[in-house]
Amino acid sequence: MNKLFENSLQQLTHARGFSEITKKINIYGHTSLYSDAYRLSVIVSNLLSNAIKYRDETKPDQSLRVNATITPSHAVITIWDNGIGIHSDYLRNVFNMFYRATERSQGAGLGLYIVKEMVEKLGGTIIINSELGKETLISLTIPNNLLKS
């Protein structure tokens, strides 16, 4: 998991605003996570990219925190940022294809749709909570296929 987050952040070093955000990653548990490495990297890269892309430039302390707890049965990954947030009226649609919750978005509205599809392909779940102008918290639960190996 450490390597996964390190690689994802390394790929984002040239993203606008990367250096302005304080990043903290904590991995708990002593068990390895056995899952689809490619899908996990796409999920993590997309979520970290969004946290950087939608940071709140007006805040003096822009932060991104990742916590992952790995057990023999699953991994719980939370990604929190104090960026621009998402209006509560838009939260129910953020995982829909082509949906963009902010005018700041320059993408096609596929990022969170792809993330949700990949999480579900892994047998996991994703939940997003956000408050406009304050923060966003994304929580993933991914099965650990350790026992199937």
The answer to whether 53 and 101 are in contact (CB under 8 A) is no
For the cut 90, the answer to whether the pLDDT of residue 140 exceeds it is yes
Sign of CA dihedral 83, 89, 92, 94: negative
* Per-residue pLDDT tens over the stretch 4-20: 999 999 999 999 889 99
Instruction: List the domains of the chain with CATH numbers.
Output: 2-148 (3.30.565.10)
- Cα–Cα separations (whole angstroms), residue 96 to 27, 28, 35, 81: 30, 32, 25, 21
Distance, CA of 53 to CA of 7 (rounded, Å)? 18
Is the pLDDT assigned to residue 96 strictly greater than 90? no
- pLDDT at residue 105 tops 60: no
